[in-house]
Amino acid sequence: MRPVSIGGVALTPVGEQWELSLRDLACEAALKALDSVEIDHIDALYIANMAAAPIQGQLHLGAMLADALGLRRIPAIRVEAAQASGGVAIHEAYLAVASGLYDSVIVVGVEKMSDALPEEVRSALAMAEDQEYTAYTGVTDIGLCALLHRLYMERYEAKPEEIASLAAVSHEHAVGCPHAQYPFKVSVERILSSPMEADPIHMLECSGIGDGAAALILTADAGNVEIAASTVAVDHFFLTERRDPLTLEAVRMASKRAYEMAGISPRDIDLVELHDLTTIMGILSLEDLGFVEKGFGARYVSEGNVRRDGELPVNTFGGLKARGNPVGATGVYQVAEVALQLLGEADRCQVEDAETGLAENLGGVASTCSITILRRR
Amino acid sequence: MRPVSIGGVALTPVGEQWELSLRDLACEAALKALDSVEIDHIDALYIANMAAAPIQGQLHLGAMLADALGLRRIPAIRVEAAQASGGVAIHEAYLAVASGLYDSVIVVGVEKMSDALPEEVRSALAMAEDQEYTAYTGVTDIGLCALLHRLYMERYEAKPEEIASLAAVSHEHAVGCPHAQYPFKVSVERILSSPMEADPIHMLECSGIGDGAAALILTADAGNVEIAASTVAVDHFFLTERRDPLTLEAVRMASKRAYEMAGISPRDIDLVELHDLTTIMGILSLEDLGFVEKGFGARYVSEGNVRRDGELPVNTFGGLKARGNPVGATGVYQVAEVALQLLGEADRCQVEDAETGLAENLGGVASTCSITILRRR
């Protein structure tokens, strides 16, 4: 396989974009990314989206967006893996360039949730779980996380404030980030006094959902940032079938393969964008990505290690919690953010001397995990 | 890129499968394909599906199906391009193996429409067109085809019976096909006396929709049938924006690239599986695939050239019209059928001495086209 580089990056602000359609959002990100590069031809378009069918009544986003962008006659392909659609679309785009068939491809992640009523959004998000069993019971993804959160506290004697500290750090990192939905500080006390979303998870421990689009151009031309690894793995769909619900096997497997592919170990990673759907998912991820031993993730975070100036900066633009969670586009945001860090273009969010960064994108409650490792050349 | 072969093939009968769920159908096809090969490990799963979100309320089919099949921890990826999902998923699986990252992957196409009411099915199928413009007007895909059908008759003085003859040949070919939904002969007279679906298209000129699943195993091991080419191209989403509505640019571009990739010309193709959503789409496709000059497709078909013993056997198991149209799975059926022909395993549908076959899969009214060319080694 030949090396693949990041050629260009674009992000739109995450939030409630009432005046922009799904197409507007996707085009804004894509055109900005295309403007940022000197490539005279795009060979293929990959589009990451979860919920346009239930929310906008729209499938076939590949053809639609290629047409809107004036990218005629190219292959245009939508990839869907629930909330991991972004990371998985990047994997497909990576393979497309690495294979040698395409030289330059654009990946656009887009999601527009504000068009729908809250119950329609809940119903669309529930489609990430098994409709005949899990979703049928009415449990939400936050409800499933709550089971893990409680078990984690009990088994590892983790304190609520230790787990909640991930949300506080994420908010701190989002301050000054122009594309963040919630770019302000929130204290651990404030988080733990917010209403229960699903006991023991507080509302301010959950990521919200937002509208947004992000775009990446991948190219066979040597660039300043290369994709050192791109992997995908799945786990049992039902939590009840997993050997240990507190071990995210998809994260373990995808990251293990990614480290092998990049020829590195977790110690070589300088910063991480986590899929912190809830605080507990971020904590478990830190452990299963190999950064800290199982059961010690919450303490590690609460001790300040994941702050911008800490041992392992995490969610450097705010993560799902504070940058926001544009669902099927989230994985593209994450990889774009890692690229901005390595390019030294992260402005007020800049981490010093970062050479290697990792993005973790999850679908469902880690039924799918996509890992992307970027490295500065 | 390294060569990619077809390792195994499986088809389930197309029809109204009231007693099988989407998962049941997909597993039946996948397990049958896995049983047919001596491969000890599958590296990745690709799943092609259009309408599970609106019909079954189910997204994230990759993780769901991998779990149901016991294929743990592998990458599992859903690809969607409306009715071209099958062909496009094969393209992605092809790239995955050709790149060198994965040695053996399985592609499963599945669609289950019988779970829904007719108006729900119509609404789901309309998601292949632009929801804000085309679908919004209430026009169906058959309605759009009717515009092309009338224009074709007027411009090229084609007779209704010439166009309808494609449906008659397809039905003739489906006789004896165990997985065909409508395996019986229908005369041109009967077709032209069936009710108008969208004037001038008669009901018996339209493909129906069916439930079904098909699976293919692609492998880097040398097999008896290789993928000589796999391409995807898109065209303007709106018919009104196309330079000439009777020229399917996506088909022209995808097939042109495919012939180049395979190092052949249309003359080297021994059989074709067409995406005959309606008779006119089959006729236009024959022209834009390069088999017959523009405007002469209907006459070419009516003269018997596309019959099993003709110059260019077409829809050798019945095509969308008579094998049936399991929507997002159709492209996988088509390629599986071409493989069966080249392997000499087509039983009563066998074409003599076929060495090279082409499958054409369309999304929308040819907004997306995927071409796969298989060749016997």
d(CA A19, CA B224): 55
Judge whether residue A103 has pLDDT over 90: yes
Q: How far is CA B50 from CA A141, A344, B88, in A?
A: 24, 41, 11
Give the DSSP H or E segment for A158.
none
Token couple for B79? 């690809």
Does residue B190 lie in a domain region?
no
Does residue B136 lie in a domain region?
no
Residue B72's pLDDT is 87
d(CA A318, CA A180): 7
Say if A372 is an interface residue toward chain B (CB within 8 Å).
no
d(CA A366, CA A363): 6
Instruction: Tally C-beta pairs within 8 A across A and B.
Output: 210
Q: Do A60 and B96 touch (CB under 8 A)?
A: no
Does residue B55 lie in a domain region?
yes
Residue A218's pLDDT is 98
User: Residue A50: which CATH number?
Assistant: 3.40.47.10
Does residue B144 lie in a domain region?
no
Does residue B345 lie in a domain region?
no
Containing structural domain, residue B13: 5-118+209-218
In chain B, the number of structural domains is 1
Which residue in chain B has the smallest CA separation from A370?
B75
| B43, HSE (Cβ side, Cα atoms, 13 Å) | 16
* Residue B365 near residue B249 (C-beta atoms within 8 A): no
Judge whether residue A158 has pLDDT over 90: yes
Say if A247 is an interface residue toward chain B (CB within 8 Å).
no
Amino acid at residue number A151: L
Judge whether residue B39 has pLDDT over 90: no
Does residue A16 lie in a domain region?
yes
What's the ipTM?
A: 0.98
Residue A25's pLDDT is 98
Residues in A closer than 8 angstroms to B368, CB to CB, are: 60, 62-63, 76
Say if B2 is an interface residue toward chain A (CB within 8 Å).
no
> CA nearest A255: which of A368, A367, A360, A366?
A360
> CA nearest B3: which of B224, B227, B231, B217?
B227
d(CA A234, CA A254): 8
Does residue B24 lie in a domain region?
yes
Tens of pLDDT, residues B268-326 = 999 999 999 999 999 999 999 999 999 999 999 999 999 999 999 999 999 999 999 99
**Nearest Cβ partner for A249 among B73, B99, B128:** B73
Does residue B107 lie in a domain region?
yes
Residues in A closer than 8 angstroms to B80, CB to CB, are: 59-60, 78-80
CB contact residues (below 8 A), chain B span 106-145, against chain A: 123, 126-132, 135
Q: What is the mean pLDDT of chain A?
A: 97
Which residue in chain A has the smallest CA separation from B80?
A78
Q: Do A76 and B76 touch (CB under 8 A)?
A: no
**pTM, two decimal places:** 0.98
